[in-house]
Structure 1
Amino acid sequence: MNTTTRIRTAERFGRWLGRGWRGCVRGERRVSAWLVDKGAPVVVTATLVWVVKLAVLGVLLYVAFWIALLLLFMVGAGWAAAANTPEEEKWWPFTDLTELRKKSGYDPNLYNDASHELFIDDRQKFISVFRH
């Protein structure tokens, strides 16, 4: 029996997100420290970091709005298409078997039309192959 524990996919994904978040925080601190080293006041640096965060949030909300609008349009188009279909769609292009038999290239074996004179049962095919 193996006693080593396995890391599940959800935990691996969570750790990946955590590393990414810590990397962003580290980069933010590095940028703000660089600005302070260049002579920018701490208040201006903090304000600039928040402006960048709000700008990124605004871009994300903008993109999410257009994706939601696109999905809403697709749902509406699907609903409209479903509303315009007739109640009883014809899934079979022929009304009855006689109309189907009039079609050129009709093979009764493909449609299991046992009442047709050219229909050959699979058992009869099997027997006739081994007789000859």
Structure 2
Amino acid sequence: MNMSECLYEVREPGIGLITFNRPDRLNAWTGRMGNEYFAAIDAAVADPNVRVIVVTGAGKGYCAGADMGTLQAIPSGDSASSQDGASIVEGRMQDEITRITKPVIAAINGAAAGLGLVQALMCDMRFAADTA
């Protein structure tokens, strides 16, 4: 899967690193990012070499919440199509990560608000930079 809003890599020894990758928007959450995030979570859970999952943000922010530009682009009364990536969480619940058997750590490097804060709170552990 070609991921661009949420990056996933396996680092030695046994670390699955998920990085929110929209630094120009303080990693504000979009439907596409949500899809890529859950795909990365699924990959980390399925990989027997990954023993811990770390979630962080690129640039100065962790995740500044829902991307308001994406929300405002949805016409009034319309629901977002799952194909356009406009919905914020498409069929999967944020609390799903609380049921993962591998530890999930939020490495909070900057702004964490709204949906971003909720995502961090769902992790098993949270570490925040002094500048966050």
TM range, smaller chain = under 0.3
**TM-score after normalising by structure 1:** 0.18
TM-score normalised over the length of structure 2: 0.18
**Higher strand share goes to which structure?**
2
Higher helix share: 1
Q: Give the number of the structure whose alpha-carbon radius of gyration is greater.
A: 1
Higher relative contact order (CA 8 A, sep 6+): 2
